[in-house]
Amino acid sequence: MPEPAAAKVQFSLEEFQGPLDLLLFLLKKNEINIYDIPIAQITEQFLEYLALSTSLNLESVTEFYQMAAQLLYIKSRTLLPLPASDDDAWEDPRRELVEKLLEHQKYKRLAELLAENEAPLDWIYERKKPQPALPFAQGDEAWAKIEVWDLFQTFSKIMKGLSSERVLNLMEEVSIHEKITLVREILTEKESCLFTDLILNPQSVLEVVCAFLAILELVKAQTIVLYQSLLFGDIQIRRHSGGF
């Protein structure tokens, strides 16, 4: 078994963006398939990392210990003998954890993409009158529900098509909070809106990124549901049944 905890070097849990981030680190470090996690090995290494942590942030540490408890629970379930009958009804106790890890992995990839476009965000972008539409493909009205990964692909295509030219101008700054408020206001009046409805200046990298991050936050909060009629087409935003 690979040596855990990097030769007993102390570290801070704040180096990881939550317990799922630490788990992904351990899987990568040990070259483990995310779909076939050796739960006993990973649980042992996870606990050793907690023991070596120098973190003092109580809230942060609590999250990690909650995950440790979940890992121990999953480990105990994997040690139980399989039922003699109803094999088809048996569910892998690791399934929910794997789904969470896959979702977290998607968000990490998205964060890496945004980091590549971080430099332009240090500038303030000038507000202009509406420009030509974003490079969306046109589709029919057969809207289908999409997931975060589909949203990520669409955003990636948009960013590739935007000009990287930066405009230094002391005009009103665009913020993620502003876009979240705009989405809420629109969906309070209507059942749905489009991503393009949130963009006043399609040529502004800052405005597009803020709108995208606002949507991402609302999706994570299970406040909205996203639909698309065509791959890379405009995104329709609807209120979640329990949202707002």
Q: What is the DSSP string of 36-90?
A: S--HHHHHHHHHHHHHHB----HHHHHHHHHHHHHHHHHHHHHTSPPPSS-GGG-
Q: In what order do the strands lie in the sheet with 192-194?
A: 144-145, 224-228, 235-239, 192-194
* Superfamily the domain 127-239 falls into: Structural maintenance of chromosome 1. Chain E (1.10.10.580)
List, in sequence order, every residue forming a beta bridge with 144; answer none if it has no partner: 228
Q: Is 60 exceeded by the pLDDT of residue 76? A: yes
Looking at residue 11, the DSSP 8-state letter turns out to be B
Segment 117-133 mean pLDDT: 40
Beta strand residue intervals within 165-211, DSSP E: 192-194
Nearest alpha carbon to residue 227 among 138, 151, 135: 151
Mean pLDDT, the chain, integer: 74
Global model pTM greater than 0.75: no
Domain edges within the chain: 5-81+91-103, 127-239
pLDDT at res. 59: 62
Alpha carbon distances (Å) from 64 to 16, 57, 68, 162: 10, 11, 6, 39
Work out the pLDDT band at 72, boundaries 50, 70, 90: confident
Q: Which amino acid is at 49?
A: Y
